[in-house]
Amino acid sequence: LKTKKIVDNVTNNNESITRTSEIIYENESSVLDIGDEYEIEDEEKDYRGNVDNKNSYKIKEKYIDSYITRTLPEGMFVTFYSGDESDYLSDDKRTFSEKYSYVIVMLELVNESNEESNMTFITPTVMQIGYFNDDNVFTMYDYRRGGLSGAESIKGHVELPIGSKNTVNLCYIIPDELLDRQLVVAGMISEYDKGAPKVPYFKVKMSAE
């Protein structure tokens, strides 16, 4: 992966610290349309170089659908609204009058991991929404804000036993100024799945209801 160095100024200190972050380019990424599938596979090795099946996994993601709407669909929840977002919500706290919209994305996940794998759930809370900027670099806007009520644990985990499949419904909140961008959702299944081409990017259907 390509990386860049970002130099931060440290308050009350003449020195600076350097941190490294990934640059994810569109032409090096797997950008998927509705109906497409992608396998995320992580093959870990032990200190001897042998495959560590317990910490390895393979998850197939199928992009089912997406849409943009002002009204939160029935059965969906949102974990929190910012102060400005709340100012544009209706009395029932489900419909935006203007300025903001919900993005709903549906994925089907299949756990194709080895039977010894510890991967028996996924964490949709880490799935980011963003866009590829004018330099074709992925720019994150926000993390998932909600999903389907009752579908996940209090920690945000969705059960996915080995050999099973499950449908994940993701909910995001975006400002209207981003509607002229091609939004994408990064298909991370855990907080460690960062970078291209390992993680797919699902193109949001950019037509508000």
**What's the pLDDT tens digit per position in 73-103?**
999 999 999 999 999 999 999 999 999 999 9
Dihedral sign for Cα 60, 62, 66, 72, please: negative
Domain membership of residue 12 (yes or no) is: no
Domain membership of residue 209 (yes or no) is: no
* Predicted pLDDT at 18: 40
* Predicted pLDDT at 157: 84
CA distances for 47 relative to 44, 51, 52, 91, angstroms: 10, 10, 9, 58
Q: Which domain holds residue 189?
A: 26-203
3-state secondary structure of 55: helix
Domain membership of residue 16 (yes or no) is: no
Domain membership of residue 114 (yes or no) is: yes
Domain membership of residue 10 (yes or no) is: no
Low-confidence ranges of the chain (pLDDT < 50): 1-20, 195-197
Q: pTM for the complete prediction? A: 0.84
Domain membership of residue 8 (yes or no) is: no
The total number of structural domains that make up the chain: 1
CATH number for position 83? 2.60.40
* Predicted pLDDT at 19: 37
Distance of CA 162 to the CA centre of its chain: 21
* Predicted pLDDT at 11: 34
CB 59: neighbour CB atoms within 10 A? 21
Q: How far apart are CA 135 and CA 123, in angstroms?
A: 30
Whole-number mean pLDDT of the chain? 84
